[in-house]
Structure 1
Amino acid sequence: MNIGLIGNGAIASYVQTALAQRPHSIAAVLVRQTRVADNPGTYVDSVQGFPDDLDLVIDCAGHAALAEHGPAILQRGIDLVTVSLGALADQNVLQSLEAAAHAGNAKLHLASGAIGALDCLQAARVGQLEQVTYVGRKPPAGWLGSPAEKVIDLEALRTGAQTHFEGTAREAALAYPKNANVAAAVALAGVGFDKTSVRLIADADVSANIHEIQASGDFGSFTFQINGKSLPDNPRSSALAAMSVISRLDSLSGVISL
């Protein structure tokens, strides 16, 4: 496949390294205008700069990039893979992406990001899925730069845990654009943004990012938990989120899809 990327951060770096081991090529990377001169043969600063023969674009740059560039990519008829699922909590962004995908006869593929068990949720919603709760627990430093700073003193939290957010997945995704993509993934796989309950916790006694899903319905009930590691290049980027992009690409390009 001939692939375009959006972004050149830690996740994009991981994706580029992984793609080098696969029969795909990176034709262009969309970056800020000020970065184009760093690699003028590959870097572009607009969707119009992408070549016409792209098979797929992978978004590695976050909510704002998906909202800004996603519609133009889809309208060009190019499929798009993203881990920026929290952006879809904004109805205007969602509707813009859906309209562009229809107009361009293209698809927006959602990578699972830093969480698992989404296939179970998708199957369970075929019946009556009654309750879904997502709990996100990180060390205090993992919440720096987020609204958690307005609720608790993160630097002073040396022991124990404090909840700094309780609400819906939509509220979490919109308030925590850099921290709540997992909540959005759970919502999209299950009962939706407004029916998914979310609790976000700063915990000084943990060293990993811990994600937990609790769900019940006609299928029974389950609890899923994962202790996630970050990428070495960026402690705020999930290693599994980067891996999920490559997994999604492998599924799309393979003859057997799971």
Structure 2
Amino acid sequence: MRRIGFLGCGKIGKALVRHIAEREDMAVEFIQDPGFINDIGVQCPVLAKADEAAFAGADLIVECATAQVLSENLELILAHCDLMMFSVTAFGDPDFERRAKALCGTYGRTIFIPHGAILGLDGIFDGGPVWRQVTVETVKSPSSLGRQDNRRSVVYEGPTREACVHFPRNVNVHAAVALAGIGFDRTISRIISDPEVSTNAHRISLSGDGISITLDISSYAAGAVTGAYTPYSACGSLDRALGNGAGLRFV
């Protein structure tokens, strides 16, 4: 039985909790989320703040809260178990990246980066040495971005590292691409606010050494930060992180 603890339990977290409930080889150890609304029949402890004993009882912590919550708990998590993190924008902070890598080495832990809304993140990582230019363009509704624009507007264009500072909850796709590819300073982010859309749309463009790839991804969101596809991909990432399941497995 693999025991899973949660930091944050919103749309993604609840999808994962439901997924775990359908399996006999996993169980939810605890949920840390002071604003959690238990509309899915959770039976585990729900904590305002997890202590060391809670982390020590888990085999894996799934973070789907915020980069700040993740950073505050990082050492306590990795001292006791592995981590699967959805707030990939945390890596936009060089200090966080240094801490994460050092703590993994100290405690022999693994940090799993789920692909989230992205298709082909493994291919971006595999092609890392050849990429010369990488851009990520995201189009979301103003409400998803925490804005009130009444017309389509480019609200940010520049290095992904700064995009992570200004839109930490909206550019995890950008952060994952940067982390897998050519880094936060060379990857260029473009964020567009459009009141006419009900989707979260991402265009990822990569080129270099005779290779050109463009990925277009659109997922219904209706003003939410998280699109409809991400919870499904999160369940697959959890299964792969824990090495569960017989039969065909795409890695």
Tell me whether the two structures share a fold, i.e. TM-score over 0.5: yes
1:220 Cα offset (Å): 1.1
Change (3 A) 1:75 1:122: same
Question: What's the counterpart of residue 75 of structure 1?
Answer: 79
2:248 paired with 1:248: no
Question: What's the counterpart of residue 178 of structure 1?
Answer: 169
Separation (CA, whole Å) in 2 of partners of 1:257 and 1:40: 32
Question: What's the counterpart of residue 201 of structure 2?
Answer: 210
Which stretches of structure 1, 4 residues or more, deviate above 4 A after TM superposition?
Answer: none
Q: Give CA deviations for 1:69-103 in whole Å, capped at 9, x if unaligned.
A: 12211022x00001110011011122222222222
Q: SS of the residue aligned with 1:96?
A: helix
Q: Give ranges in structure 1 of 5+ residues lacking alignment.
A: none
Q: Give ranges in structure 2 of 5+ residues lacking alignment.
A: none
Question: What's the counterpart of residue 158 of structure 2?
Answer: 167
Alignment check: 8 A CA contact 2:6 2:62 kept? yes
Q: SS of the residue aligned with 1:236?
A: coil
1:211 Cα offset (Å): 0.5
Change (3 A) 1:136 1:51: closer
The residue type equivalent to 1:139 in the other structure is S
Change (3 A) 1:29 1:141: closer
Separation (CA, whole Å) in 2 of partners of 1:229 and 1:138: 10
Separation (CA, whole Å) in 2 of partners of 1:56 and 1:94: 19
1:171 Cα offset (Å): 0.7
Which deviates more, 239-248 or 191-200? 239-248
Q: SS of the residue aligned with 1:141?
A: coil
Question: What's the counterpart of residue 141 of structure 2?
Answer: 139
Q: SS of the residue aligned with 2:184?
A: coil
Q: SS of the residue aligned with 1:214?
A: strand
Change (3 A) 1:12 1:201: same
1:240 Cα offset (Å): 2.8
Q: SS of the residue aligned with 1:245?
A: helix
2:18 paired with 1:29: no
Question: What's the counterpart of residue 119 of structure 1?
Answer: 122
Q: SS of the residue aligned with 2:226?
A: strand
Question: What's the counterpart of residue 10 of structure 1?
Answer: 11
Pairing of 1:89-108 with structure 2 (within 5 A): 89-108=92-111
Which deviates more, 237-246 or 190-199? 237-246
Q: SS of the residue aligned with 1:122?
A: helix
Question: What's the counterpart of residue 132 of structure 2?
Answer: 130
Separation (CA, whole Å) in 1 of partners of 2:227 and 2:174: 14
- Between structures 1 and 2, the one with greater helix share: 1
Change (3 A) 1:198 1:62: same
Change (3 A) 1:241 1:68: farther
The residue type equivalent to 1:130 in the other structure is R
Separation (CA, whole Å) in 2 of partners of 1:244 and 1:82: 13
2:88 paired with 1:85: yes
Q: Give CA deviations for 1:216-244 in whole Å, capped at 9, x if unaligned.
A: 112510111111123x8x82223333233
Alignment check: 8 A CA contact 1:83 1:241 kept? no
2:53 paired with 1:62: no
The residue type equivalent to 1:181 in the other structure is N
Alignment check: 8 A CA contact 1:210 1:227 kept? yes
Alignment check: 8 A CA contact 1:82 1:245 kept? no
Question: What's the counterpart of residue 214 of structure 2?
Answer: 223
2:53 paired with 1:52: no
Q: SS of the residue aligned with 1:102?
A: helix
Separation (CA, whole Å) in 2 of partners of 1:178 and 1:116: 19
Change (3 A) 1:51 1:64: closer
Q: SS of the residue aligned with 1:143?
A: coil
